[in-house]
Amino acid sequence: MILGIDEAGRGPWAGPLVVGAVVLGCEIDGLNDSKKLTKKRREQLELIILEKAQAAAIGWVSAAELDEVGMSEALRLATRRAVEQITVPYHEIIIDGTINFLRDTPKGDYVTTLPKADALIPSVSAASIIAKVARDRYMTELGEKHPEYGFKNHAGYGVAKHRETIERIGVIDEHRLSFAPLQKYRETPTVSPPSESALQKPTTRSIGDISEMLAAEELVRRGHTIIDRNWKTKYCEIDVISQKGDRIYFTEVKHRKNAKHGDGLDAITPAKQRQMTFAARMYAQAHKLANVNLQLLAVATTGDDPVVELVVEIV
């Protein structure tokens, strides 16, 4: 009896973070990573899982809570909330990914972390599905309350139309103001239009934020899972941290307005590569990442309305 755990909603700009926990105890045909299933199929499987599984639970962390405690702690909190609802016996816990979110609890010693477990372990697949369906349902309902944002279509991710709406009318209390592109709204977390000058003259900071979000979206399109963003210490920082397969990628995002300023990757000098290596090692040590391959990555964006130009692995 395996307790499978997976999350949904790590990357969106709005809405809750959701963790699913399932003890399956039976065979269900068609289980897979929720991202590889159609919306209709996920909803069909959710009903079967809730009916047949020995136990199934959801842990929620709101956008406001996430802003208060940060993404890493929010993942731990949502996981614990889900697991606390499971009362049936099980002999092992498998969490999708590389981080043991139950490490500091009495259950921590029974956890196995496994990248791509949502496609390999049926109970983790089931957890992935119920978390994804629950969050999508929440965002659809939120979209009915705030139709101008189009949450039903993008589930709160920072897609172009979502960004445009935020720039035009501001944010609501379901937006994650700790995310770099939205931090400027921390002082006014209710819907209000930005100034005309802000709309006409995007700042270097806002362009940088958009570039980082575009880089993260490009990595997701290439099969990465975003683990963290804008990780900083007194000594170093990393723009985007992601995982694909057995590798953890540490990405530096560089923007250039136009070709006259050179390629964004020109800024990745040998000295900068050494800084990136140092930052990656610090992150791995801080998060106790053992037996994983670390890879440096650079993403170049260009233009007044940034677009991703190049994605390059750094040897």
pLDDT tens, residue by residue, 56-104 = 999 999 999 999 999 999 999 999 999 999 999 999 999 999 999 999 8
What CA–CA distances, in Å, run from 128 to 1, 119, 304?
17, 9, 38
pLDDT (tens digit per residue) in 93-138: 999 999 999 998 999 999 999 999 999 999 999 999 999 999 999 9
pLDDT (tens digit per residue) in 268-284: 778 788 888 888 888 88
Q: What is the mean pLDDT of residues 4-33?
A: 95
Chain position carrying tokens 């299933």: 37
pLDDT at residue 179 greater than cutoff 70: yes
Contact 186, 177 (CB under 8 A): yes
295 - beta bridge partners? 249
Q: What is the pLDDT at residue 201?
A: 47
Q: How confident is the model at residue 205 (pLDDT cuts 50, 70, 90)?
A: low
92 - beta bridge partners? 2
pLDDT at residue 190 greater than cutoff 60: no
Q: What is the pLDDT at residue 197?
A: 42
Distance CA 310, CA 315 (A): 16
Strand pairing category for 55-61 and 17-23: antiparallel
Question: In percent, how much of the chain has pLDDT > 70?
Answer: 90
User: What is the pTM for the complete model shown?
Assistant: 0.60
Look up residue 251 and give its DSSP letter. Answer: E
Look up residue 88 and give its DSSP letter. Answer: S
235 - beta bridge partners? none
